[in-house]
Structure 1
Amino acid sequence: MRFTGPASATIFALAWPMMLRAIMLHGTVVIDAWLVAGLGEEAVAAMGLATAFGGLLLGVLLAFSTATQILAAKSFGTGRPEALRTALVCGLVINLGAGLAGLLATALVAGPMIEGSAHTPWIAAEARSYLAAFSIVVLGEAAAQSLSAHLNGCGETRRPFYSYLLAVPVNVGVSVVLIYGLLGAPALGVTGAAIGSGVSAVLRALYLGHHVRRANAAALAASAWTQGSFPRALRDHLVFALPVAATFLSATVANTVCSLIYARLEITEFAALTLIAPWVQVAGTVGMAWAQAAGILVAQLLGRGAGAGVLEDFLRQAWGGAVLAAAAVAAAYVGICASSGWIYGTLQAETQAALWSFLPVLLLLPFPKGSNAICGNTLRAAGETVYVMHIFVWSQWLFRVPGTAALVWMGVPVAWVFSLLLFEELVKFPPFHQRMRGGRWKVAKL
């Protein structure tokens, strides 16, 4: 039986809520830092020190949730209630287990590292207090991210976005009250920001859990598991998810190492890289959301048993949309560079010049990055998570990280250091597209 592939409008309908949700997630971090900034530089330093650990934990949860999203989409495509239930329950168990394991590891190693990095005992104490309260965020997000991934896989991308519309104002309100001790509440300083984020995360999990329960009543009522037993199903889910988690973890560590290397640049060059990095991340969510939506639909088509012709027709539309998304991102980068003098009014002329020197790379970067993202999400949807992991890990650790160290050591202009982001995408381009042309993924089984 031949299935009709989704149109570009279907990809867009899935992509825009994920894009806005990602932007709001990045914005939440900015808002928390802005709220704490009123307490002074030492409070900001304490928060920054603690969130280095908290951010790594949330990154691991996001990685496992990405795998759950793919499996949920495949299960949704099959139309079998027991498959959908298996993906949901296994995803929740793995995320909660990863969250608890991460908190245990953090409790063992974070204390000495904070003590060694903090400039004053007060900063160390505040960082430890913030991190202790942040455990609420980790557990709440473990459930919320898994439930969001399940809904995304089922094509319900708007509901996770709505959960942020509900939770972000609560986060801001509770944080302000607890940071500064308003309305008779104790003034908890930076710890208040962590508690506010925790309340927000728990609220999101409850909201998403309620909706999943309503929307998936038939799946939750199923008594069977896809592999005959829950332990076997959990093992298969984990085997699929581990390469995805390793890919995200490698990227996080590689970015951290490169940031430490950047610190050896001239102060104006380092400042320019620091300022452009969040804009690259936020603007890049446009192309990444499009690619993730395409990956969800590929997984659903594979679950339905769609043939190679349907998959190829669909991907041609997806790649066409990716080009348009890349053009929009490139235009956004032009606007960011052009308005940087207004956004950051106190920048030195050298820093401003460094930002403008990034523009040629920024104009080209979205195009190979968007195409690689389509390939990566498609291959993951077909179960080729190990192959995708190898491409990312080796391009990072055999090319970008040593290349960054070498260029910084040689003292080349900062634009060449920044250009390694583009060249990394060009390194990944041949193995990704060669694998896509091979066609084995079109009949792959998860």
Structure 2
Amino acid sequence: MPVVNIADLSPGMALAKQVLDPEGNLLARAGTVLDQNTIDWLGRKGIAAVTVQGESPSPFEAATDYASRFFLFVDLDHEFMRVLYMESLKRTAAAMAQGFSPPTRPEDWDARVTHLRDVFFKDEGSPEDLVRQEVELSSFPKVYFRIREALDKPATTAETLAGLVEMDPGLAVRLLKLVNSPLYGFASQIDSISRAVAMVGVQELSTLALGVSAISVFQDVPPELIDMRTYWTHCVGCGVLARILGQQAGLPGESLFVAGLLHDIGRLLILKRLPLASAQALIYARENYLPHVEAEKDVLGFDHALVGGLLAEEWSLPEHLANAIRLHHEPMAGNDPGPPAVVQAADTIFTALEVARGGRFMVPGVNAQAWDMLGIDSEFLKPAIQRFDLEFEAATSIFLNDEGPGK
């Protein structure tokens, strides 16, 4: 007998089991034929799901019913999205067979954020205002600026960069863990920053160091609105996927890893400065089955990609990184669509895979022209995701430990 979420009930369904409220009071008896008033009433009583008469669907049928709603915004006629959709269904069905129960209760955002205040209302401020305030107040590790200066000098040597990184023991340890992880797959242990620079490259390791330093800035985002560990898990996953896809497309992997790691920094800034509007955008997205970026445009008048790109420019990140962040939802809008197209694909893939783990965001999809331009066969997605599964766990253990951003 199937268990049906309250939002999926239809008049005419019959209860297979009695329904009790949290205190054990009887709300409806087994055999009750539901009408719309009863369904609405059960919802107001806080009932998330009920057991109805009929045969339970198979795990794959249940997975299709649940997961397909996350793909309403995308074009499943495009081969990339079709392959990804089937992979998401397969993983969701496997998770359900192992006991995964999809989230049923909507988050009560209104109750969480009533004590928070936005710095301005819609049409009273701009993305530039948000970024200007953040840059004035944020505090970067000193090593960030020194590495930034070194990155601007083509003649920077491995010894110079190693010396700068070693001034921050936490950064040095994290970079060593990263280059010794399955992401790089070196045959022997890399036991010093100078050797890491020699193996990975001055520009590549400089970019990694910038990205790792930048993620330490956002530590005071309202916890009522976002679980930071979940946020950084998404970003690390996108970074790993962007590196894999970028290498296949002949683009610089380390730069794309950092672009994926930082692609949603604008979202953190919006959550921090406009918590009430952020909650409204989240509610709007879920009620209307929209990707988060589309809801931001409707509710705020701008989106996190624009804010993130502006912030990256203010931080003096390399131009190609700032563009990848700014255009990761509109890759064809710039002069170099390759990097943002890779980040867009990585974001779409990870969001689709998260459906099987209770992810609540709609899959944003890819720009078909941008994906085709990368020259990556959609069949590469399957081995890419297999490789991702191996590398993702190692990457998250490095970035999401007790001292990391997801603490």
Length-normalised TM-score, structure 2: 0.29
Q: Which has the larger radius of gyration?
A: 2
The structure with more helix, counted as a fraction of residues: 1
Length-normalised TM-score, structure 1: 0.27
Structure with greater contact order relative to length (CA < 8 Å, sep ≥ 6): 1
